[in-house]
């Protein structure tokens, strides 16, 4: 039996966001390894089904988040990001994994 603990989605004030920033290495990794190009990952942020989770495990220097949603190509993606200088700084973009599907699906049904 699979138990899902309560997941708190984050609500952002997007009015101060000016755009996106990509590190060349992260862009290359997302494109080559996961077949997710910049534009596809960025489209998740305007998806009607966008869900944002806090990432409390991976960085002690800056706050990180996971955006889960459907891309413009109808792929369910996970985009890990942070906010730097009023920009969404993408760390990675990939298809969502099994655990994320359960979280996403669980919250979507509520």
Q: Please state the domain extents for the chain.
A: 20-109
pLDDT in tens, 49-78: 899 988 877 767 888 999 999 999 999 999
Give the model's pLDDT for residue 106. Answer: 53
Give the model's pLDDT for residue 99. Answer: 86
Q: Is the pLDDT assigned to residue 109 strictly greater than 60?
A: no
Name 54's Cβ contacts closer than 8 Å, sequence gap at least 6. Answer: 8, 10, 63, 64, 65, 66
DSSP string, 57-91: SS-SSS-EEEEEEE-TTS-EEEEEEEEETTEEEEE
Give the model's pLDDT for residue 107. Answer: 53
CA dihedral (46, 23, 101, 2) in degrees, to 10, reads -140
Mean pLDDT across the chain, nearest whole number? 84
Q: Average pLDDT in the 26-50 region?
A: 92
Q: Is the pLDDT assigned to residue 9 strictly greater than 60?
A: yes
């Amino acid at each position: 039996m699979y138990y899902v603990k309560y997941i708190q989605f984050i609500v952002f004030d997007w009015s101060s966001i000016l755009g996106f920033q990509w590190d060349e290495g992260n862009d290359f990794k997302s494109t080559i390894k996961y077949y997710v190009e910049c534009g596809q990952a960025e489209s998740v942020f305007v998806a009607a089904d966008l869900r944002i989770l806090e990432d409390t495990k991976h960085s002690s220097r800056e706050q990180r988040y996971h955006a889960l949603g459907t891309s413009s190509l109808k792929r369910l993606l996970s985009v890990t990001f942070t906010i730097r200088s009023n920009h969404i700084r993408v760390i990675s973009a990939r298809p969502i994994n099994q655990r994320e599907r359960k979280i996403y699906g669980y919250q979507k049904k509520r």
